[in-house]
Amino acid sequence: MSTFSAPRGTYDLIPPESADYLAVREAIAAPLRRAGYGYIETPGFENVELFARGVGESTDIVTKEMYTLTTKGGSRLALRPEGTAPVVRAVLEHNLHRGALPVKVWYSGSQYRYERPQAGRYRHFSQVGAEALGAEDPALDAELIILAVDAYRSLGLRNFRLLLNSLGDRECRPVYRAALQDFLRGLDLDEDTRARVEINPLRVLDDKREAVQKQLAGAPMMPDHLCEACKEYHEQVRGLLTAAGVEFEDDEKLVRGLDYYTRTTFEFVHDGLGSQSAVGGGGRYDGLSEMIGGPPLPSVGWALGVDRTVLALRAEGVELPQPSRTQVFAVPLGEEARRALFGVVTELRRQGIATDFAYGGRGLKNGMKSANRSGAAYAVVAGERDLAEGVVQVKNLDSGEQVPVPLDGVVAELRRNLA
């Protein structure tokens, strides 16, 4: 061990488990690529104001969880806690919204939140996200949800549930908000929660404490306050999901922890994860562009947590296919064999065969131990005497059978054997 370890709330991805994380990212990206989403990458840090205005001044993310810093030049930056506000910023900055709409993009990368670490909740974690900007169409909301479901299914994940809600729009939400505030002001709540009632009353619905939940019976709920346009929009989303064979649960208390949401909101939860059960979430954010100084740009998106998706797969016992394992392992004995077999290894790799080499000249016994451990199907062994005869030994590591093969024909021979 060195003097240092990974910071609290973070962990290293190391082989072989790291392969699962790559597989999850790939599996989430695949359906997006097929649906016309282009890859976007934004910096790992942004102007702190982008998140304050975009995610919301009163959210936990902005008030408690951002990693902020001041540069030597005096800029106030934050490590990104989420990807949506940066994507909207980038789309506006590059005028993508002036082209064909919707702009459909996906991203993959690290997010940083100074949260209390626990199982499934980290200070550094990774998301794959998708955003469709510049269109107000229930089919777009449905498309994104279906793509997430297809991604989970393609990984073999089964025990996840989709929670669905509508948070209304700028017409009906303020009316609902006022009605909810009226109700909440009459309850017996602690000081912090009373403050929340004034700033962000919808978040109170999300309070997990039983003493609060008990008092919420009879609270006005958003679905009963949706305006006609929002109601109609939500019904269409629900209908399209049902037609696509996607099951969902209406969850009138689903409010999400970010302030930019309007209308459709959803979360994917997995029951094998304990309290950090959300494996992904998203929704429509029709006002976000204007909140950060852009034109009206109705949009919808989601982000799926890679770490929690891996945990969910493990909880279900799903084994992901491993990436190409070593197929051939070369063990040289002596200096001349080292040069010759290194050439063979390079050529095999160039021909697409996963090949490894016994580095460090540690002899036949150690070399063969490494070959067996690598999972290779064949070992190629050569010493002075073999080379003097112009051959190398090809050993089938399953059967133990070993045959001499001319050095200049060994690449072709192995290709045939492995085909």
**Binding positions for ligand HAM, rule: CB under 6 A:** 82-84, 113, 115, 121-122, 125, 127, 129, 131, 257-258, 278-283, 285, 301-303, 305, 307-308
Spatial separation of the C-alpha atoms in residues 287 and 59, rounded to whole Å: 16
Pick between residue 205 and residue 379 the one whose CB is nearest to ligand HAM: 205
We find the least distance from the C-beta atom of residue 300 to ligand HAM, in angstroms, to be: 7
Closer CB to ligand HAM, 31 or 283, in the complex: 283
What size, in residues, is the chain? 419
Residue 322 counted as an annotated binding residue: no
Structure token pair of residue 280: 């992904």
Q: What are phi and psi of 87, to 5 degrees?
A: -65, -45
What's the min distance (Å) between Cβ of 309 and ligand HAM?
7
Q: Which residues pair with 168 in a beta bridge?
A: none
Q: How far is the CB of 166 from ligand HAM (least distance, A)?
A: 15
| Residue 139 C-beta: closest distance to ligand HAM, Å | 17
Q: How far is the CB of 50 from ligand HAM (least distance, A)?
A: 13
Q: Are 77 and 68 in contact (CB under 8 A)?
A: yes
Query: Which lies closer to ligand HAM via its Cβ, residue 167 or residue 184?
Result: 167
Name which of 281 and 298 has its Cβ closer to ligand HAM. Answer: 281
Give residue 76's identity as a one-letter amino acid code. R
User: What is the C-alpha to C-alpha distance for residues 297 and 133, in angstroms, rounded to an integer?
Assistant: 6
Min dist. Cβ of residue 245 to ligand HAM (A): 23
**Residue 285 is labelled as binding a ligand:** no
| Residue 300 vs 380, nearer CB to ligand HAM | 300
By beta-carbon distance, which residue lies closest to ligand HAM? 305
| 70 annotated ligand binder | no
Residue 131 is assigned to a ligand binding site? yes
Q: Which pair of tokens denotes residue 49?
A: 């104001």
- 127 assigned ligand-binding residue: yes
Compute CA distances 313 → 109, 169, 271, 304, 320, whole Å: 20, 36, 11, 13, 9
Residue partners of 301: CB distance under 8 A and separation at least 6:
84, 87, 129, 130, 131, 132, 133, 144, 282, 283, 285
For the chain, how many helices (H) and strands (E)? 16, 16
From the CB of residue 11, how many other CB atoms can be counted at a distance below 10 Å?
13
Residue from 248, 229, 291 nearest 55 by CA: 291
Which CB sits closer to ligand HAM, 153 or 369? 153
Residue 112 labelled as part of a binding site:
no
The reply to whether 82 sits in an annotated binding site is yes
Binding residues for L-histidine: 82-84, 113, 127, 131, 256, 260-261
Binding residues: 82-84, 113, 127, 131, 256, 260-261
